[in-house]
Amino acid sequence: MIRWSMALATALGVLALAIVATLWTGRTTDIAAEKLRLTRVAHQRLQQQHSLLKSPDSAQRIEQLDQALDALQISLVEAVSNRPVPDGVIDVTFEQQLMPPMTQAGTHYPVSVLRLSLMLTMEHSVGLVNMLDQVSGATSVWPSEVRGCELRRLPMQRLSAQCVMDFYHWSDDSAVIRPDNSLLNNDQDEGT
């Protein structure tokens, strides 16, 4: 009887070990498969980034991103005052304003906001779209947004539009001009 119970205990122990080994092997295989999938995803992202960097226009984009805020301002002036004006646009006036820099915790460089106010006289609304496309195309590497546009009907089948666009620029320049015209060095603590 003792032999019988020893044999049964041994058989149950071997069966329990086999079940645990099977579950452990399955879990290990699942973890390895997930790691392989994540590695493949990371590899694909690196390949995509490598392809982007090898494209002919990437060197030009990187060069544009290295330019100072003055270069962005000049690009905007050139885009807005480009002659001939887009189809449907009769007259263009504009104004640029440097807004207070946005500084957020965890970011190394403050983000400068350059606000462009456009005042247009147009024959039709397509002129507005064409002008916004022209401005956005000239500064495509820098993030921008149209804050709003106000349209008014003028006499003689014309339209007036006033649009505000914000362009975001960051720089690793050693000094950034604050709105109060004081200097902020990147190495200097903001509280001092």
Q: Is 6 within a domain?
A: yes
Task: Report, in this order, helix, strand and coil percent for the chain, each rounded to 5.
Answer: 45, 30, 25
> For 71-86, how does the pLDDT look when each residue is reduced to its tens digit (9 = 90+)?
778 888 888 887 788 8
Would you say 167 and 113 are in contact if contact means Cβ atoms under 8 Å apart?
Answer: yes
Q: Are 146 and 94 in contact (CB under 8 A)?
A: no
Segment 107-140, tens digit of pLDDT: 566 778 889 999 999 988 888 898 888 888 887 7
* Domain assignment of residue 62, yes or no: no
Q: Is residue 60 part of a domain?
A: no
Do the domain assignments include residue 1?
yes
CA separation for the pair 5, 11 (Å, rounded): 10
How many domains, in total, are found in the chain?
2
Non-local CB neighbours of 158 within 8 Å, separated by 6+ positions: 90, 121, 122, 123
pLDDT higher for 19 or 138?
19
In a domain, 142, yes or no: yes
Three-state secondary structure readout of 33-49: HHHHHHHHHHHHHHHHH
> If you compute the radius of gyration of the chain from its CA atoms, what whole number of angstroms results?
31
Mean pLDDT of 43-57: 81
Over residues 79-97, the mean pLDDT reads 85
- Residue ranges making up the domain that contains 86: 69-185
In a domain, 115, yes or no: yes
Q: Are 169 and 69 in contact (CB under 8 A)?
A: yes
